[in-house]
Chains A and B, each alone.
Chain A
């Protein structure tokens, strides 16, 4: 999963941190730096969302929640080295938590729903992590895949409560009274505000001690244990962090679409997220951004292409999938470190280490 090159890169990055941050940036603590980046990013999102049409705003918001989900998976798989094929299960937990809260506890504001969704999926993450921390490689992948296959099926066990395969439908009222912006623009803002806050937290976690411990566990568990790192705890923590991100992403998806249905949380979703992480660049939070962007852009581009070529529906429907597959194969063959790996090689880069991955 993790190439030699990647390990070396990670070591050099870790080394860079150990030997102290570059003096010119030492003036700003990481949290402030990350928050400033987030503010800048949010300004960009607001600007973009104000010029594009309402449906593109839906896509902008989609990039947002996919980014958060992929970033969580990056922490788990890229930084801690635990391959998860079941990340979609946490999105499922988050989406259904929000759906049930909106339906049954209508008086709670949406941000509280999201926090509860994050907490519930965090609990699910800790439980999964505790069970999975002893597993390695394909066994771990298999166990997490079972989660992705099995968990959405509980909707069929409790059809009255969870709506069976129809799922639940609802409308989330989140727009403050008096604010007059198009609904989809507002939704894009809410999604991105949440996502960027999540990214700030992730960037801080991964650039600090915990991040170093995660990388140490990924690279060699025995060495990490000898160095005094509690391997099991670190792994469970990685599951917790990634599950919280997944849960938030699922909650945001539910918010955006006004529905939660098991059909959107198939194993294909988990595999797609992992593919996005690989495509963007394993082991870097920036990679999650490129991966999420690629997912949405390829889907949109392929749809346009299919419409433009007036292909038959059965061909047109699978074109996005086929294109994504081809792009993934090419990227893995040509750029094993993903899109972010390519960007890092461009001489115009700002500096040696990216901000977020630390």
Chain B
């Protein structure tokens, strides 16, 4: 009797899942490639959008302010009447930079809150786990807050669009800069052991592969980078290229100071916001019971950036400072905060471009129309064939007063082995974009 039942149940299970668990369903291809529920999350007066952000956990110290910046811009847009009469309802879910939690909260946003789009989901390890889900559900997934190449795959991921300059592009630009200006020096690489490090080294190695003496990975869950810095010091690296998030740039700088090791740090854009770094350095050293001078530690550091710096008098920064003053004066104004603002502004612009009869398809058309241009120092790559965001970066060094000094004007390039060229100097101003009013 027992045997018969077990056999019966096994047969049932067998029947219910005859395909391989890891194989993609050949018949379901059509369902996975298009927009679904065109008007989910939209009424005549509102648009519900959602995002996942590390408000707690290891990455929170650098990134928790991004959604605050975005929210301020949406408030600014809403107070001016919204976009085509629709106010933006921005739902922020905390995932703690934990991929499992990301899956949960994104499912909640899509299935329960029924968001129109996921905007600016933050993080490579986190966001990569919801790509399949968002593609299958046909939810626009735009302006991902990460520079991994994975977001730029229009054929397999028609819903997903990047935002910031990808790690390969900016590392090509940094690599070329190092090769030219720090010629003959031994180079060490400290990289986050995921797409960040992989994609960045693909760009860096096009220029400085022969000069690299040591490559050290770090894991974002382990905040002890002493072994890595010791190894870089031991290998005699005079330049340390840091492909790190802000918390780990700060840890690397602090740890090398502890070792009495003074390499020239070269940091990619995600980890090179000096104001954020300065705050982190103070916080970390206070935890350890020491006082450090962020200025002494950061002066001379080389970094990349793709948005106008908060210390410039760029017209975009003037606008963002106004918004900051009006909505979130208590949150420190950093480049990280500005990136959240730029992202929200770009999304609002795409919604406006999509027109009054908003649908998910129209939003995606607007994204790939090539008409988006915004706060960034270089153009977007957005087109039918590319879902990559900004196409390049400028290079700066940190001055003693912690302001970045641009040492190489914005350059643009592709994600492959193409040449690096000067970026067009003409950029649209907020007045020309005329988002509100």
Residues of A in contact with B (beta carbons under 8 Å apart) = 31-32, 35, 53-56, 58, 101-113, 156, 159, 164-167, 169-177, 183-184, 190, 193, 197, 253, 257-264, 313-314, 317
In the assembled complex, B369 has its CB within 8 A of some CB on chain A: no
26 pairs, CB–CB < 8 Å, chain A vs chain B:
A53-B112, A55-B107, A102-B22, A106-B20, A111-B17, A156-B219, A156-B221, A159-B219, A164-B193, A165-B219, A167-B129, A169-B131, A171-B24, A172-B21, A173-B19, A173-B24, A177-B25, A184-B111, A257-B103, A257-B104, A258-B103, A258-B132, A263-B101, A263-B221, A317-B56, A317-B94
Known: A167-B129, A257-B100. 18 other contacts (CB 8 A): A35-B5, A102-B22, A105-B22, A109-B21, A156-B221, A166-B99, A166-B125, A166-B128, A169-B99, A170-B22, A176-B16, A190-B16, A193-B13, A259-B129, A262-B221, A263-B97, A263-B98, A264-B100
Chain B residue, CB-CB nearest to A262? B221
Contact with A along B96-140 (1 / 0, CB 8 A): 111111011001100110000000000011001101110010000
Chain A residue, CB-CB nearest to B92? A313
Residues B25 and A173 in contact, CB atoms below 8 Å apart: yes
Chain A residue, CB-CB nearest to B13? A111
Residues B18 and A176 in contact, CB atoms below 8 Å apart: yes
In the assembled complex, B431 has its CB within 8 A of some CB on chain A: no
> CB-CB < 8 A to B128: which residues of A?
166, 169
Residues B2 and A31 in contact, CB atoms below 8 Å apart: yes
Residues B55 and A314 in contact, CB atoms below 8 Å apart: yes
Chain B residue, CB-CB nearest to A259? B129
Residues A55 and B111 in contact, CB atoms below 8 Å apart: yes
> CB-CB < 8 A to B99: which residues of A?
166-167, 169, 259, 261, 263-264
> CB-CB < 8 A to A197: which residues of B?
9
Central interface residue in A56, A169, A172, by most chain B CB within 10 Å: A169
A106–B131 Cα distance when bound, in Å, is 19
> CB-CB < 8 A to B2: which residues of A?
31
**Which 8 A/B pairs are nearest by Cβ-Cβ distance?**
A106-B22, A166-B125, A55-B111, A264-B100, A263-B98, A165-B221, A55-B112, A110-B21
Residues A164 and B194 in contact, CB atoms below 8 Å apart: yes
A197–B124 Cα distance when bound, in Å, is 37
Residues A165 and B108 in contact, CB atoms below 8 Å apart: no
In the assembled complex, B14 has its CB within 8 A of some CB on chain A: yes
A316 vs chain B, min Cβ distance (A):
8
Chain A residue, CB-CB nearest to B21? A110
Residues A111 and B14 in contact, CB atoms below 8 Å apart: yes
A135–B274 Cα distance when bound, in Å, is 52
Chain B residue, CB-CB nearest to A197? B9
> CB-CB < 8 A to B13: which residues of A?
111, 193
A260–B16 Cα distance when bound, in Å, is 24
Contact with A along B8-32 (1 / 0, CB 8 A): 0100011111111111110100000
B92 vs chain A, min Cβ distance (A):
7
Residues of B in contact with A (beta carbons under 8 Å apart) = 1-2, 5, 9, 13-25, 27, 55-56, 92, 94, 96-101, 103-104, 107-108, 111-112, 124-125, 128-129, 131-133, 136, 193-194, 217, 219-222
> CB-CB < 8 A to B132: which residues of A?
169, 171, 258
Residues A164 and B100 in contact, CB atoms below 8 Å apart: no
A261–B96 Cα distance when bound, in Å, is 13
B15 vs chain A, min Cβ distance (A):
7
Chain B residue, CB-CB nearest to A307? B91
Residues B219 and A53 in contact, CB atoms below 8 Å apart: no
Residue among B21, B97, B108 making CB contact with A173, cutoff 8 Å: B21
Residue among A107, A159, A258 making CB contact with B20, cutoff 8 Å: A107
A32–B1 Cα distance when bound, in Å, is 9
A253–B100 Cα distance when bound, in Å, is 9
Residues A264 and B101 in contact, CB atoms below 8 Å apart: yes
Residue among A32, A58, A109 making CB contact with B14, cutoff 8 Å: A109
> CB-CB < 8 A to A173: which residues of B?
19-25
A109–B23 Cα distance when bound, in Å, is 9
Residues A110 and B17 in contact, CB atoms below 8 Å apart: yes
Residues B136 and A169 in contact, CB atoms below 8 Å apart: no
Residues B21 and A183 in contact, CB atoms below 8 Å apart: no
Central interface residue in B20, B94, B96, by most chain A CB within 10 Å: B20
Chain B residue, CB-CB nearest to A189? B16
